[in-house]
Amino acid sequence: MKNENGLSQTLIKESNKRKIIRTLWENSPVSRTGLAYLTGLNKATITNLMAEIVAEGMVTNVGQQKSSAGRSPNLIMFNENYGICAGVLIRPHIIVASISNVFAKILWQKDFLYSEKDDPIDVLQEVASMLREGVAACSEISTRLLGIGIGTASLLRQSDDMMYAVHSTTKWYNVPIGDFFRQNFKVPIWVDTVSNNAIVGEKYFGAARNISNAVFLSIGNGIGGGLLINGHLYRGVSGFAGDIGHFVVDPNGPQCRCGKRGCWEVMASALALSGGTSLDTAVREAESGNVAYITALNNIGQNIGRGIANLVRVLNPQKIILGGDIIVAGKWVMNPCRTELQTKLWPFVWESTQVEFAGLGKDSAILGCFTRVIEQLFCLEKVA
């Protein structure tokens, strides 16, 4: 049977069920009356569909809501132990494997250090073993692995999750990251860049909540970007959107590892520090009064602002979020970044653009990995 809009009753029921699941996840604890109000569905529909959702183990009762008059309604909550999610971050020299509950609360985490000389598949085999260890460690909470979200510090071809060049060495070109994990774990797999996962994490849990248009900049030993446009992640035609570290800021600037000169990332990340100095070291030196490092961090901040100004001119986002290792630099880069932006943008554009550090600190990307699983399985993307 179809209604006047051509939707079958089965599709309507599935759409309503997805709406209830999403609302439960976003608003727990909530009463059935509250669910009806938030979803716009009548109480009979709520009652019928909740019976299915309860049978699937997705919800738990948490007691009664205090009421000044009449019978106190029972509160229900999305079951945080319904299942577990896995996250994997693949960066140069280090891979993070982590397990969370369905609200992206980290339950277990472990790092794996590797050399760029190591064979990528051998490295991934070690990571797979680590994930199995993590799943076993969380078995008292749940034995149901719902899926794995993976973030890579590299270009990623969207059509087949083929990873390009986490290093400049040829060993990490054309690594079939998605296929590897699908063969080793018979669960849904979502693969994306570190920056794309980070903006998704910030969208649900951090600085991009209630924001429809934002840019996440992952700044460490390079710069990557995640773009949130009209409330949705933007990946481009082939999945390469956000490779913004290699637009040229100064054609006469220092040479980048990509072969060009004056790329944004070689001027506005830890790559701008001499002798391979880390951001942590630079900040410690700056705080002790070392003028050379104060100047170096100030220059990085100015160049971050210079690049952001170009992004603002093109995308006009409501918020720019700085994440990754750059967070440790705090005021040393943020103040000159904002000053540079204020001088580069029209006043009314500057006044409507927020620039701040990630609300999730350095955890934006790993929480984003979990959230890619949660978002799909629990219908967080809005449906008709």
pLDDT at 384: 30
pLDDT at 383: 35
> Is residue 136 domain-resident?
yes
Closest CA to 57 of 371, 381, 384, 378: 378
pLDDT at 175: 85
Residues 135 and 269 both lie in one domain:
no
Among candidate residues 61, 78, 95, the one where a domain is terminated: 78
Residues 191 and 335 both lie in one domain:
no
> Is residue 352 domain-resident?
yes
> Is residue 122 domain-resident?
yes
> Is residue 1 domain-resident?
no
Q: How far apart are CA 102 and CA 373, in angstroms?
A: 9
> Is residue 220 domain-resident?
yes
Among candidate residues 25, 58, 78, the one where a domain is terminated: 78
Taking 60 as the threshold, does the pLDDT of residue 356 lie above it?
Answer: yes
Among candidate residues 49, 78, 107, the one where a domain is terminated: 78
Residues 335 and 370 both lie in one domain:
no
Residues 59 and 125 both lie in one domain:
no
Residues 223 and 114 both lie in one domain:
no
> Is residue 383 domain-resident?
no
Residues 43 and 92 both lie in one domain:
no
Name the band, by pLDDT with cuts 50, 70 and 90, for residue 65.
low
Question: Environment class of residue 342 by beta-carbon count within 10 Å: exposed (0-12), middle (13-18) or buried (19+)?
Answer: middle
pLDDT at 10: 86
Residues 155 and 100 both lie in one domain:
yes
Q: What CATH number has the domain bearing residue 72?
A: 1.10.10.10
Taking 90 as the threshold, does the pLDDT of residue 273 lie above it?
Answer: yes
pLDDT at 236: 87
Residues 251 and 278 both lie in one domain:
yes
Q: Residues 25-38: what's their mean pLDDT?
A: 91
Q: Residues 363-368: what's their mean pLDDT?
A: 96
> Is residue 344 domain-resident?
yes
**How far does Cα 259 stand from its chain's mean position?**
29
**How far does Cα 36 stand from its chain's mean position?**
31
Mean per-residue pLDDT of the chain: 90
Q: What is the pTM of this model?
A: 0.90
Residue 54: domain span: 9-78
pLDDT at 237: 86
Neighbouring CB atoms inside 10 A of 320's CB total 23
Q: Residues 235-249: what's their mean pLDDT?
A: 88
pLDDT at 93: 87
- Minimum mean pLDDT among 118-122, 355-359, 376-380: which range? 376-380
Rounded to 5 degrees, φ, ψ at 167 are -125, 175
Residues 93 and 234 both lie in one domain:
no
Q: What CATH number has the domain bearing residue 211?
A: 3.30.420.40
Look-up: residue for tokens 């909550």?
77
CA distances from 100 to 142, 181, 312 (A): 10, 18, 34
Closest CA to 146 of 202, 77, 81, 55: 81
Residues 98 and 74 both lie in one domain:
no
Domain total for the chain? 3
- In sign, the C-alpha dihedral spanning 135, 140, 145, 146 is negative
Q: Residues 20-41: what's their mean pLDDT?
A: 91
> Is residue 182 domain-resident?
yes
Of residues 281 and 74, more confidence is placed in 281
Residues 153 and 18 both lie in one domain:
no
pLDDT tens, residue by residue, 191-232:
999 999 999 999 999 999 999 999 999 999 999 999 999 999
pLDDT tens, residue by residue, 138-172:
999 999 999 999 999 887 777 777 666 655 556 77
pLDDT tens, residue by residue, 317-354:
999 999 999 999 999 999 999 999 999 999 999 999 99
Taking 60 as the threshold, does the pLDDT of residue 64 lie above it?
Answer: no
pLDDT at 9: 85
Taking 70 as the threshold, does the pLDDT of residue 360 lie above it?
Answer: yes
Which structure tokens are listed for 305?
């602002």
Residues 166 and 256 both lie in one domain:
no
pLDDT at 123: 94
